[in-house]
Structure 1
Amino acid sequence: MPDAVTVRPATPADGDTWLALVDALADYEKLDRPTPDARGRLLNDAFGPDPHRIQVYIAEVDGRAVAYAITCETYSSFLALPTLYLEDIFVLPDARRHGIGRTMFRYLAGEAVRRGCGRMEWVVLDWNQLAIDFYDKLGARRMTEWYTYRLTAEQLREVAEG
């Protein structure tokens, strides 16, 4: 069992460490790592002159970064409250099963409460049974009445042009 887990907002000094964790998530999900241009956008969106697009959190054990999360806010017109949307949460495989994910989720739930959010939402890949089991243990409810849709950048341009 590791020593205490520390979860905190990331700072610009964490940029390279955070990008290494993003690479680890890409490897885990068998996706391409972010390109150099995407890496620059990630750093700018998190730490640039207008860093309100995303918020990044780092979890550390004994000074070693072992997990990260990215959040942003959406808004519910029916609750008339913000929603804390969890884009990524990732714990390095060698650091799992030590309560790090649970500690990070508690921190993020507290952040949602501090911000006055009415809820927190995220999506999970259908093959990621470890994550699904984790979310079920937390008591999170799987939404079955909603479908996720996506338009890519090219499709967005096509729609915008009519």
Structure 2
Amino acid sequence: MARAQVEVVAVDDVRSVDGQSMLREVSSLWMTQRVDQGMSPEAATRAAADGRLREALGRADVRAWVARVDGTAVGYAITSENPFGLSTQPEVAIDQIFVDRRARRHGVARALLTTVVAHAERRGSEVIVSNVPAQSREANRFFARWGFSSVVVRRVVSTSVLRRRLTPGARPELLDAIRRRRHTAAPALQHESA
């Protein structure tokens, strides 16, 4: 069976008529990706409607492409430039890449990556980076197959946890005890005021 012809189109101006159409295609695929990752369809719809995707695609440092097979959108890639702003050399980061399950193994990801490489070369970037969740075995295997290697471990902490650890003399067990007392006292206070 021959591979389908994959067309990759840049999402340029999200304010234009064509841009609005492509934004809808990316949004639909973005919601599909979220549902595939375990989010409910309702939550994915709300997340897409909040406007952050549209806002991100409108930024000057962000580029997006839609992959189509037979005129149907089946995948997308979103990149940003110098994501950490500290590198003196241009960097292109793949923020998101997604191919609908029904279109996988038909060269869609290859076409999207080829487009990203061409973009990086035009920008003078010598490297392409992607932050991949450590627990995502499928995504890590995907990027490793294309030659991406692990160069950093990105550690994340919530601000509240870091604040507790930075506060001299704070004892976590004391803070937990205060939280438990407040939590159990709140229903009793509500009952008395009623």
- TM-score for both structures, normalised by structure 1: 0.78
CA contact (8 A) 1:19 1:39 kept: no
CA contact (8 A) 1:60 1:67 kept: yes
Q: Percent identity over the alignment?
A: 26
C-alpha distance in 2 between matches for 1:108 and 1:150: 31
How big is the shift at 1:5? 0.8
Structure 1 stretch displaced more, 15-24 or 127-136? 127-136
1:83-118 per-position Cα deviation (integer Å, ceiling 9, x unaligned): 111111000011111121112111101110111112
Pick closer, same or farther for the CA change 1:150–1:60 going to 2, 3 Å: farther
Q: After the TM superposition, which residues 5-24 of structure 1 pair with which residues of structure 2 at under 5 Å, given as runs?
A: 5-10=6-11, 11-24=19-32
Pick closer, same or farther for the CA change 1:125–1:76 going to 2, 3 Å: same
C-alpha distance in 2 between matches for 1:92 and 1:99: 12
Cα root mean square deviation, aligned = 2.4
Q: Secondary structure at the match of 1:124?
A: coil
From 146, 150, 155, the counterpart of 2:153: 146
2:82 counterpart of 1:82: no
From 79, 82, 102, the counterpart of 2:110: 102
Pick closer, same or farther for the CA change 1:76–1:70 going to 2, 3 Å: same
Q: Which has the higher strand share?
A: 1
Letter in 1 for 2:64: V
C-alpha distance in 1 between matches for 2:3 and 2:20: 26
2:144 counterpart of 1:133: no
Q: Secondary structure at the match of 2:44?
A: coil
C-alpha distance in 2 between matches for 1:113 and 1:151: 36
Where does the alignment leave 5 or more consecutive residues of structure 1 unmatched?
none
Q: Which has the larger radius of gyration?
A: 2
Q: Provide the residue aligned with 2:53 in structure 1.
A: 42
CA contact (8 A) 1:60 1:66 kept: yes
Where does the alignment leave 5 or more consecutive residues of structure 2 unmatched?
12-18, 164-194
